């Protein structure tokens, strides 16, 4: 059922153009199915059954609305409605595309707030229940329900179309889809707050979203590169935590990495479309994926080619400078050329609301034998850390100082 969800929502939207009604109607149809199928048996064409039931609901709602509108003496005749339907059905885009792609583009429209776009994509394209999305993004379920409802209303109110833009605008829009997907992934990969170190299910859903879009646009560079990056990061999920504790890259049990996913990512990175000129966003995904691949493809931590990793970070900082990338480069520099060089690379680096610069500084100071300075940096990192597992790790590191 979950596999069909996005396709059914898209089909309903292509007929009725009312995102607010389409999804509720499908939810009702699924609920009806869960009651009647166990009794009457599963129909021959389950998706067709759901589609018919959902359509009936939408038509009922439209009728109710029309009656209510007449009471307010607003003339909204069926004829007008049909005319409007016919007008919006005429696609001005120059491409013929799958309805699901229109749905993906609508959910990840740049006029929506990025967090709303991520949540909406998981809900409408993948059919992830709202309560699960709330749990994954660490907000109460009613808050998430309200956020999703607001986003749906905004789609209708602002006139965000259910359409594929023409070829000149499409790559930019697919970049937004990639960013939306990556936001969902990182929310699971490195949750900033709360009790879990990672929420692998959310990362898994983001990967599924990327696969859905790639199923429609197989040669889209930004999504290929992003899928490779996500697979490489996701492949370590089982080794990153042990008994609820953080395990650093160097100490991870590499036999627990998902090597099939690493192999798939390596294949993706070799795609011809990533060899030519690409957008800065795609280039930044490719470089991050190459960095992750350096780790994923060596047999032990000792064999890591830190010199190559530093070089890749240098390129990444040229294309997409960010404090997080500078921090990661400093770690690589420390591994390649020693703690003192790493501390030099950290000079002046701050990330608002993040404990990570202080945590790295503490580790490097400790390696450099500056125990007192290291303890002070650990204290600073612990005070700023809002993730329970990471805080426990930092505390044990500090307490282990000589």
Partner 1 sequence: MKYLVLLIGDGAEKPWPEQTESEQAAAMAKFGEFDRACRDRDGVELLAGEALGDSAHATVMRTSTDGRVALTDGPYAEVIEGMGGFYLLEAPDLDVVVELLRVLPPYDIQIHPTVEVTS
Binding site for partner 1 (CB under 8 A): 73-76, 87-88, 92, 109, 111, 157-161, 163, 165, 169
Specify the residue, 77 or 322, whose C-beta has the smaller distance to partner 1: 77
Minimal distance in Å, beta carbon 27 to partner 1? 25
> How far apart are the C-alpha atoms of 390 and 384, rounded to whole Å?
11
Minimal distance in Å, beta carbon 82 to partner 1? 16
> How far apart are the C-alpha atoms of 322 and 134, rounded to whole Å?
28
Specify the residue, 21 or 29, whose C-beta has the smaller distance to partner 1: 21
Minimal distance in Å, beta carbon 96 to partner 1? 17
- 245 Cβ neighbours under 8 A, 6+ residues apart: 389, 392, 393
> How far apart are the C-alpha atoms of 399 and 97, rounded to whole Å?
59
> How far apart are the C-alpha atoms of 107 and 122, rounded to whole Å?
9
- Which of left, alpha, beta for 320 (phi over 0: left; psi -120 to 50: alpha)? beta
> How far apart are the C-alpha atoms of 381 and 376, rounded to whole Å?
9
> How far apart are the C-alpha atoms of 212 and 177, rounded to whole Å?
11
Specify the residue, 172 or 369, whose C-beta has the smaller distance to partner 1: 172
**CB-based contact 131:141 (threshold 8 Å):** yes
Specify the residue, 166 or 253, whose C-beta has the smaller distance to partner 1: 166
Residues in a beta bridge with 246: 241
Specify the residue, 67 or 158, whose C-beta has the smaller distance to partner 1: 158
Minimal distance in Å, beta carbon 73 to partner 1? 7
Specify the residue, 11 or 160, whose C-beta has the smaller distance to partner 1: 160
């Amino acid at each position: 059922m979950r596999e069909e969800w996005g396709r059914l929502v898209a089909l309903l939207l292509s007929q009725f153009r009312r995102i607010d009604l389409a999804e509720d109607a499908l939810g009702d149809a699924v609920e009806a199915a869960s009651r009647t199928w166990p009794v009457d048996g599963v129909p021959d064409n389950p998706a067709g059954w759901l589609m018919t039931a959902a359509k009936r609901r939408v038509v009922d709602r439209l009728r109710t609305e029309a009656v209510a509108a007449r009471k307010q003496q607003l003339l909204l005749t069926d004829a007008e409605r049909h005319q409007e339907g016919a007008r919006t059905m005429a696609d001005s885009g120059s491409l013929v595309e799958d309805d699901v792609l229109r749905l993906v583009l609508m959910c990840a429209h740049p006029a929506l707030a990025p967090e709303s776009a991520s949540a909406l994509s998981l809900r409408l394209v993948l059919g992830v229940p709202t309560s699960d999305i709330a749990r994954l993004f660490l907000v109460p379920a009613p808050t998430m329900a309200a956020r999703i409802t607001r986003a749906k209303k905004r789609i209708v109110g602002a006139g965000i179309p259910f359409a594929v833009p023409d070829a000149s605008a499409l790559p930019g829009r697919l970049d937004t889809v990639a960013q939306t997907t990556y936001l969902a992934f990182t929310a699971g990969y490195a949750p900033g707050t709360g009790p879990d170190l990672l929420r692998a299910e959310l990362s898994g859903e983001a990967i599924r979203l990327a696969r859905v879009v790639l199923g429609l646009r197989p040669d889209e560079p930004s999504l290929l590169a992003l899928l490779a990056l996500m697979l490489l990061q996701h492949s370590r999920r089982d080794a990153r935590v042990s008994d609820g504790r953080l395990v650093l890259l160097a100490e991870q049990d590499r036999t627990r990495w998902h090597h099939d996913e690493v192999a798939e990512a390596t294949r993706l990175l070799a795609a011809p479309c990533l060899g030519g000129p690409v957008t800065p966003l795609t280039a930044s995904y490719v470089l991050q994926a190459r960095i992750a691949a350096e780790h994923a493809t060596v047999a032990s931590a000792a064999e890591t080619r830190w010199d190559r990793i530093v070089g890749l970070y240098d390129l990444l900082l040229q294309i997409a400078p960010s404090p997080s990338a500078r921090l990661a480069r400093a770690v690589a520099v420390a591994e390649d050329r020693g703690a003192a060089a790493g501390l030099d690379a950290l000079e002046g680096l701050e990330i608002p609301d993040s404990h990570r610069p202080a945590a790295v500084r503490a580790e490097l100071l400790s390696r450099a034998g500056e125990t007192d300075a290291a303890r002070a940096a650990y204290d600073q990192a612990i005070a700023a850390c809002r993730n329970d597992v990471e805080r426990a790790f930092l505390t044990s590191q500090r307490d282990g100082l000589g």
